[in-house]
């Protein structure tokens, strides 16, 4: 945008809206990229499996949901509460301790996810 009043008494040099410094002198970091639009749960399909880990422990594994599209810490918290069990997430996989296929499925469906397997 041109400076409409260049050379007049209204010719105020542009300043940064964040720090108030002249734009030429501003050292603010670039604004963060807009958050990626996340997929609604009903556009995502979770795949469930019970797997045996070393030591004979069973875990209920949720795959097919992308960490980028979901609040995994919040989701793991809801699944742990629904199962009364511990749980964790790594990359795009969620694991809940123990065999909890039905409870995990019900909790995911209650939130709105589609569930396979």
Interface residues with Zn ion (CB under 5 A) are 16, 18-19, 26, 28
Q: Which is nearer to Zn ion, 13 or 55 (CB)?
A: 13
Q: Which class for 64: exposed (0-12), middle (13-18), buried (19 or more C-beta within 10 A)?
A: middle
Which residue, among 93, 60, 96, has the nearest Cα to 78 in the 3D structure?
A: 96
CB of 34 to Zn ion, least distance (A): 19
Number of residue whose CB is nearest Zn ion? 16
CB of 15 to Zn ion, least distance (A): 8
Q: Which is nearer to Zn ion, 31 or 56 (CB)?
A: 31
CB of 27 to Zn ion, least distance (A): 7
What is the C-alpha to C-alpha distance for residues 23 and 1, in angstroms, rounded to an integer? 14
Total length of the chain: 117
What is the C-alpha to C-alpha distance for residues 76 and 78, in angstroms, rounded to an integer? 5
Q: Which is nearer to Zn ion, 25 or 109 (CB)?
A: 25
DSSP type of residue 112:
T
Q: Which is nearer to Zn ion, 26 or 50 (CB)?
A: 26
């Amino acid at each position: 945008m041109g400076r409409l009043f260049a050379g007049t008494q209204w010719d105020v040099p542009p300043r940064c809206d964040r720090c108030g410094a002249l734009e030429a002198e501003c050292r603010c970091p670039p604004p963060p990229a807009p958050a990626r639009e996340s997929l609604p749960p009903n556009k995502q399909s979770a795949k469930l499996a019970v797997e045996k880990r070393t030591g004979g422990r069973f875990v209920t594994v949720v795959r097919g949901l992308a960490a980028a599209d979901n609040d995994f810490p919040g989701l793991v918290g809801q699944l742990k509460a629904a199962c009364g069990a511990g749980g964790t997430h790594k990359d795009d996989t969620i694991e809940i301790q123990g065999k909890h296929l039905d409870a995990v499925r019900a909790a995911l469906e209650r939130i709105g996810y589609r569930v396979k397997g």
